[in-house]
Copies of this chain bind each other. A is one copy, B any other.
Amino acid sequence: MARVNENYLKLPGSYLFSEIARRVNQYKKENPDADIIRLGIGDVTQPLAPAVVEAMKKAVAEMGSPDTFRGYGPEQGYEFLIEQIIENDFRSRGVELAVDEVFISDGAKTDTANFQEIFGINNILAVSDPVYPVYVDSNVMAGRTGMVNDKGQFEKIVYLPCTEENGMKPPLPRTRVDMIYLCFPNNPTGMTISKEELKVWVDYARENRSVILFDAAYEAYIREEGVPHSIFEIEGAREVAVEFRSFSKTAGFTGTRCAYTIVPKEVKAYDSNDQAHSLNPMWLRRQTTKFNGVSYPVQAAAAATFTEEGKKQVREIIDYYMENARIIRKGLEEAGYKVFGGVNAPYIWLKTPGNMRSWDFFDKLMRQVHVVGTPGAGFGAHGEGYFRLTAFATRANTERAIERIRTRM
């Protein structure tokens, strides 16, 4: 008799964004004329840059000609893209990487969800609270947790509370952990940490032989000096960290799908005889067995973000969203909200007025001013009392949404 993976049964039924969609659809059914503005899900609105579109069309044309057609590419991605990534995203910041330390994939969600597969099932993991739900859910499915409690927290996971008091910066765990998920600039809080603060984590991992799973999907939004763009800017990080990057938020690839993961050869985990194994060949084995590479035209499109023209156009798109972020931050502050993020990230994390519960604030915002955001409670127990707005809407909708919040909430 075929048995299910019972770990799946530990997951609560409704996923955050499905529940939001359900409530919005219900409201729209009852109020068909409501002009709803969505600052909820982190999806972009600006089209692909012209240089990206041209490169992708050219690659599609190549696929239509016998002389330039490409079949299976390397599972880990084409070198023409990997070399651009190394040169532009790392060497420019003093970080040296080898070609076989970069793995191209179809998304950072995919990579952050899959990477745990190469670890043993008894590792203890630490996550920020609030947290991007994929880190937790993928580990629940793999069986690395116990059951969920009524606060939505799983046994065996060490949650690191990010609060107003600690400036939304996760504290070091009090008990020893093996796998540490960090995300900076952070989703959902929009906050960053300094190089010195990140070094504390690298040192912890070196001391405890832990591995840091560093999600830098929003790196391109960093504006301030002194904020690390890559964990590999930190001394010793090559021994203990992998890093996830994405073209989704950098170049509007949410619907085009391309990302990459850095796995330095020095990063290790241990078998039950305490023998060290490099994670790089294990991830290569995982990818060559369970993945078959990213579409060639998509990789060609991603490479175009690194041409002079592409870089300029992509920067303009990011500037556009960061101006939205400024407008949201300023508007909310003027309206008296306590606000985090939005300076080095496209996310604004606001404290709900009067400690209102975040789903109540969601309903009030939707019903009273027709603006949809994301309730902080959806990101974890310590997200309760907070609310996330994103800077990815159009300028016009961003301005209208903030005007409504300022004047009618």
Nearest chain B CB to A173's CB is how many angstroms away?
14
- Given A4-B277, A254-B292, output 20 extra A-B contacts at Cβ < 8 Å: A1-B269, A2-B123, A2-B209, A2-B269, A4-B120, A4-B270, A5-B119, A8-B285, A11-B285, A45-B69, A47-B63, A47-B69, A57-B61, A70-B255, A109-B291, A110-B291, A141-B286, A255-B295, A256-B295, A256-B296
A114 on interface, CB distance cutoff 8 Å: yes
Contacts of A254 in B (CB 8 A): 71-72, 292
Q: Are B43 and A53 in contact (CB under 8 A)?
A: no
A98 on interface, CB distance cutoff 8 Å: no
Knowing A2-B179, A4-B277, A123-B3, the reply to whether A46 touches B66 (Cβ < 8 A) is yes
Q: Are B72 and A47 in contact (CB under 8 A)?
A: no
A-B contact pairs, 27 of them (CB 8 A): A1-B210, A1-B270, A2-B119, A2-B269, A3-B123, A3-B270, A4-B119, A5-B121, A8-B285, A9-B277, A41-B72, A44-B71, A45-B69, A47-B63, A49-B64, A56-B63, A57-B57, A69-B255, A71-B254, A106-B292, A113-B289, A134-B289, A137-B289, A254-B292, A255-B295, A295-B298, A297-B297
- A366, B37: Cα distance in complex, Å: 64
Contacts of A92 in B (CB 8 A): none
Contacts of A209 in B (CB 8 A): 1-2
- A134, B91: Cα distance in complex, Å: 36
Q: A residues engaging B (CB < 8 A)?
A: 1-6, 8-9, 11, 15, 41, 43-50, 52-53, 56-57, 60-61, 63-66, 69-73, 106-107, 109-110, 113-114, 117-123, 134, 137-138, 141, 143, 178-179, 208-211, 252, 254-257, 268-272, 274, 277, 279, 282, 285-286, 288-298, 301
Q: Are A210 and B2 in contact (CB under 8 A)?
A: yes
Nearest chain B CB to A112's CB is how many angstroms away?
9
Q: Are B256 and A63 in contact (CB under 8 A)?
A: yes
Contacts of A269 in B (CB 8 A): 1-4
Contacts of A252 in B (CB 8 A): 69, 71
Contacts of A48 in B (CB 8 A): 60, 63-64, 69
Contacts of A291 in B (CB 8 A): 106-107, 109-110, 113
Q: Which residue of B lies closest to A208 (CB)?
A: B1
State the 9 A-B residue pairs at the shortest beta-carbon distance, nearest first: A3-B120, A53-B64, A113-B290, A43-B71, A2-B269, A47-B69, A71-B254, A1-B209, A70-B255
